[in-house]
Amino acid sequence: MRRRSALLSSGLSAALLVSLAACAPGGTAPADGDCAPSGAASDAVSVDGAFGSVPSIEFEGPLTSEATQRTVLEQGEGDAATNGDTVVIEYTVLNGETGAELATTGFTGENAERFPIDTESQQLVGFSLLLDCATPGTRLAGVIPPADGFGDQGVPELGLTGSESLVFVIDVVSIVPPPLERAEGEPQEAPEGFPTVERAENGAPTITLPEGEPFTEFDLAVLILGDGPVVEDGQTVTVQYTGLNWNTGEIFDSSWERGVPADFPTSGVIQGFRDALVGQTVGSQVIAIIPPDLGYGPSGGTPDGSIGPDDVIVFVVDILAAS
């Protein structure tokens, strides 16, 4: 996606499994919105280790089931996740026949994944069925048959055939609060000489550059001061943003134009963008002036040529959530 090429400097290898789900068929959710039940297959998964620790997983393969099964190993507390929620999870997934590990987040907290629950999805629906109804602090074991996973094609890149099930052990770390729709808070005056920002009714910004040469050093101003939690380094943020090349005056990327917010870890973006987010509060709108050495200068600009190696870029960012 364009936002990844424009913002992200790297991705998590553990996200491979979820990203491959784009071609997976959907399954059938339990009737009347019931939670996925336990069964002989999920009960046969033996897990040593408490919530938050690396699990030691044993079972006698092949494990098979007609529908997705899950067994709660450790019950959490609080409100249960429901369809449409986004949850933060740690997981390990194994081949249900061979026992080979296919992917893991590592259970260190550094690579925890965010996953939106969609029990009607055509993309690895079994994973959503495992997470639906789970409470924060829950550790569960799950078995997903091919019909609720990757279908008859399997995933050759992971050594998974179309007849082999998936075995998951998942820690549900938290449920992500719904993000704001736009920045909310007290308007602030930008320093003299900064680009000006006007907001449309839906919150989308229009950036007007001042006369004169671009700034040569990083600079930041808060345009709206939100009262939410402070963004910490390493968190995943939800933002709406527009990026403009000061040298050309052209917008090179905008989540507003795509119509959906963007999610990414602060550790996975260019340095200047990270510096604009960390330490700010959720609900705020910031404008950041990013010189080449903190943007795309070290990489020689962007591959599409929209940002050159010597170009200064401007971002206006609404910080909608952080977790």
Question: Closest Cα to residue 9, out of 274, 255, 216?
Answer: 274
- Cα–Cα dist 30/22, whole Å: 22
Residue-level pLDDT at 171? 98
Determine the Cα angle at 313 with ends 310 and 318, to 5°: 160
Give residue 110's pLDDT.
84
Rounded percentage of the chain residues whose pLDDT exceeds 90:
78
The Cα diameter of the chain in Å comes to 71
Q: What pLDDT, in 10s, does the model give residues 120-131?
A: 887 789 999 999
Where does the pLDDT of residue 284 fall: very low under 50, low under 70, confident under 90, or very high at 90 and above?
A: very high
Q: What is the mean pLDDT of residues 6-35?
A: 42
Q: What is the pLDDT of residues 293-307, one digit of tens each?
A: 999 999 999 999 999
Contact 88, 176 (CB under 8 A): yes
- pLDDT (tens digit, 9 = 90+) per residue, 51-97? 999 999 999 989 999 999 999 999 999 999 999 999 999 999 999 99
Alpha-carbon gap, residue 149 to 64, rounded angstroms: 12
Looking at residue 140, what is its pLDDT? Answer: 98
Element (H, E) at 277: helix 271-277
Residues 220 and 296 sit within 8 Å (Cβ to Cβ): no
Domains belonging to the chain, first-starting first, are 2-176 (3.10.50.40), 186-322 (3.10.50.40)
Structure confidence at residue 183 as a pLDDT band (50, 70, 90): very high
CB 78 within 8 A of CB 135: yes
The enclosing H or E element of 3 equals: helix 2-7
Measured CA to CA in angstroms, residue 65 lies from 30, 96, 103, 288 at distances of: 14, 10, 21, 52
Flag whether the pTM goes above 0.85: no
